[in-house]
Amino acid sequence: MPASQHYDVVIIGSGAAGMTAALHLANTHKVALLSKASLNQGSTRWAQGGIATVVDPEDSLEAHIEDTLIAGAGLCHRDTVELVVKESRKSIQWLIDQGVPFTPAEETADTLHKSEPSPLPYHLTREGGHSFRRILHADDATGLAISETLTARVLQHSNISIFEDHLAVDLITRHKLGLADQACVGVYALDIKLGKVQALAAKAVILATGGASKVYLYTSNPDGSSGDGIAMAWRAGCPVANMEFNQFHPTCLYHPNAKSFLISEALRGEGAKLTLPNGEPFMQRFDARCELAPRDVVARAIDHEMKRLGLDHVCLDISHQDADFIRGHFPTIYQRCLELGIDITQEPLPVVPAAHYTCGGIVTNHKGQTNIPGLYAIGECAFTGLHGANRMASNSLLECVVYGRLAAEDLLDKLASFKEAPELEDWDESQVTDSDEDVVISHNWDEIRRFMWDYVGIVRTDKRLERAQHRIKLLQSEIHDYYSNYRISSDLLELRNLATVAELIIRSAQLRQESRGLHYTLNYPETAAEARDTLLTPDRW
């Protein structure tokens, strides 16, 4: 018996992008918001640094645009960069209106260029790739401040139905239902706590599921970053682009009791130095910008020194700064390190690179639309052309808020013309049984993450990619057999998605026969004269 619940829009993902879209839609439309854990446990809450916009009177929109283009190593789409930068002040003002507590300015600039709005009275910091201070922040826990503020707003809204602990299984299109067109009309979602799958029908679906950095053994991301939206969109027929560009954050804390703890780039923006364990600085040998070079440059430099000297880590030292300044600007990092026996006001902290951000994703237009009618993708799961071959620091939260609003505005204009979603059938479990071999899931999960780290990491070769391709094919066969015969679980669904994304990354890396931005291969160390995106389409593969 059909038992689907009907909404105007289903949003999968409850980070900054998903909640922004939900809040813009919910005044006039019925919205379902799915979160695979509790509402504010996605990647947004772990973002420490901040969100970029032009405020400094010496800065300009064009400088922000050019910095982004330079960091993207020739692959950014200029029209997208211009759009996001020009929309930044409006989107950040919306965050301020929601109540996000950005750190106030110590001193406020007197004037801005006449073409700019009046200055925002907030403290600005600087991060790698930026030529000016333009990072608004809430101390060193900006993502947490944004997540908690938007979560409170979402919880207050009667038109938003919240589905916590729900993991999307697959998108539902009219084509899958045997109807004529391809429009997306809903999603099957697993209630993780009850182990039951339910159908959610909608006129439109927004994917805001974040990235796929959990495909690597070491990552700054939470456990849920398993590429779910990218994999679901691929299975539904969406092309993806530039999946080979995986950003490794240069500085994650290296400590056995500190899982995935990011050390914000803002430390380097405030003068922290990267050194070898003996205290010798090394970034000056790799880039004139030293610690403020883009993340791909810094991560490769650290990786080079670790491999050259056989090190487990390098060091990041800000102890030369005033202790009160450090505690005041980086209270979260200071306190966490102190809990682990490291006083950053007195000593350097050990750091290593870790997978941090997926620069490629589901191909969309400037409204977040995919090639499937009624299906949108926003935030880290989407490919808009903003980040090119390397995302510039603090443009990611900005992208989430800008595209969350733009997608919602597009739907507000068009939703009335969309067809009503049909009644959806129940999830069919009649041909599967309970598994008694869950060890297969944990083993395959671990194997994928290890060979992706070893073969498809910061430095790549053709041989390493071939090895990875061979292994992912074998694992996908096992996973497909397991998925077909056993009742699904959240671990199995994430493994299935992770394997899909791993293959997309490997295939994309094999196609790029040059080194550019985050993709560095010893077989093709030079950068090609012409910059081209890597586009994969489901029909081709």
> What's the CA gap between 439 and 441, in Å, rounded?
5
Strands (E), 212-339: 240-241, 246-253, 273-275, 314-317
Specify the amino acid at residue 370.
T
Specify the amino acid at residue 299.
A
CA dist list (Å): 370 to 172, 207, 268, 405: 15, 10, 37, 16
> What's the CA gap between 371 and 362, in Å, rounded?
10
Q: Is 431 exposed, middle or buried (0-12, 13-18, 19+ CB in 10 A)?
A: exposed
- Name the region of 313 (left: φ>0; alpha: ψ -120 to 50; beta: rest): beta
Catalytic residue among 174, 295, 300, 449: 295
SS3 category, 214: helix
Q: Is 295 a known active-site residue?
A: yes
Cβ atoms of 511 and 383 closer than 8 Å? no
Residues in contact with 354: Cβ distance below 8 Å, sequence separation at least 6, in sequence order = 216, 218, 219, 220, 248, 249, 252, 260, 262
Q: Considering only CA atoms, which of 67, 390, 125 is closest in space to residue 265?
A: 125
Secondary element (H or E) of residue 324: helix 323-329
Other CB atoms within 10 Å distance of the CB of residue 144: 18
CB-based burial, 10-30: b 16+ in 10 Å, e otherwise: bbbbbbbbbbbbbbbbbeebb
Residues in contact with 113: Cβ distance below 8 Å, sequence separation at least 6, in sequence order = 57, 60
> What's the CA gap between 451 and 472, in Å, rounded?
9
- Name the region of 73 (left: φ>0; alpha: ψ -120 to 50; beta: rest): left
Please state whether beta strands 314-317 and 273-275 pair in parallel, antiparallel, or not at all (unpaired): antiparallel
> What's the CA gap between 99 and 528, in Å, rounded?
46
Q: Considering only CA atoms, which of 213, 226, 202, 297 is closest in space to residue 260?
A: 213
Q: Considering only CA atoms, which of 420, 406, 371 is closest in space to residue 538?
A: 371
> What's the CA gap between 370 and 172, in Å, rounded?
15
Cβ atoms of 188 and 10 closer than 8 Å? no
Active-site residues, by number, are 295
